[in-house]
């Protein structure tokens, strides 16, 4: 499905739509951002270090989120097209960013993704990689996850051989 979404993004005929589609995928599936958070980002919110790219998320839930490495190229390509201090998304007529991405996807060529499903993909990927829960909650900008049980069905159970060891505290760190 992500391969099809990547093709959808690069297949947009207008550069502005192509860049926005790239941002939607990279920031939602690669950093777990919400639609309203994407709308707030400016060029200075993309921080590049030797360790990788992080997103400084402004707004009600400020935090620093590492971008998954597979999305680095796309985020940098769009950021480098913008002037310093400019909005990554570009000018928007929407006052409220909550439906920004869904309205955008509705008006693109082909069938685009839903931003909430992209964020869930990001969450499930980190759950599968056994990212510590406290760190995942911080990066996601939440204090509780009402939908956690829905996400966990996409994660594999511990192998039987590891189950006892993990719960007995015998895992070497």
Q: In the prediction, which pLDDT does 94 show?
A: 56
Strands (E), 6-99: 46-49, 52-57, 63-66
Spell out the residues 6+ positions from residue 142 whose beta carbon is closer than 8 angstroms to its own: 61
pLDDT bin (cut points 50, 70, 90) of residue 80 is very high
Q: Quick one: average pLDDT of 120-146? A: 93
Whether the pLDDT of residue 92 is over 70: the answer is no
pLDDT bin (cut points 50, 70, 90) of residue 166 is confident
Q: In the prediction, which pLDDT does 64 show?
A: 97
Does the pTM surpass 0.75? The reply is yes
Q: In the prediction, which pLDDT does 168 show?
A: 81
Whether the pLDDT of residue 97 is over 80: the answer is no
Contact yes or no for 56/141 (Cβ under 8 A): no
Note every long-range contact of 2-9, with CB atoms under 8 Å and residues 24 or more positions apart, other chains counting: 2/29, 2/121, 5/29, 5/112, 5/113, 5/118, 8/108, 8/109, 8/110, 8/111, 8/112, 8/113
Q: Quick one: average pLDDT of 98-109? A: 89
Q: Quick one: average pLDDT of 5-34? A: 96
Beta bridge partners of 57: 63
- Main-chain phi, psi angles of 52, to 5 degrees: 140, -170
Q: In the prediction, which pLDDT does 147 show?
A: 86
Q: In the prediction, which pLDDT does 96 show?
A: 60
% residues pLDDT > 90 (the chain): 79
């Amino acid at each position: 499905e992500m391969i099809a979404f990547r093709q959808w993004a690069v297949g947009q005929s207008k550069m502005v739509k192509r860049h926005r589609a790239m941002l939607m995928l990279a920031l939602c599936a690669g950093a777990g951002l919400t639609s309203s958070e994407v709308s707030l980002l400016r060029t200075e919110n993309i921080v590049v270090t030797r360790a990788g790219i992080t997103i400084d998320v402004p707004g009600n839930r400020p935090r620093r989120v590492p971008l998954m490495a597979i999305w680095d190229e796309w985020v940098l390509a769009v950021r480098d097209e913008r002037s310093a201090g400019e909005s990554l998304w570009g000018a928007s007529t929407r006052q409220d960013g909550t439906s920004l991405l869904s309205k955008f996807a509705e008006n693109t060529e082909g069938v685009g993704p839903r931003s909430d499903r992209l964020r869930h993909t990001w969450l499930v990927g980190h759950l599968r990689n056994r990212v510590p829960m406290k760190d995942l909650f911080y990066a996601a900008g939440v204090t509780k996850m009402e939908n956690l049980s829905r996400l966990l069905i996409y994660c594999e159970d511990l192998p039987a051989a590891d189950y006892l060891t993990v719960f007995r505290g015998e895992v070497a760190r």
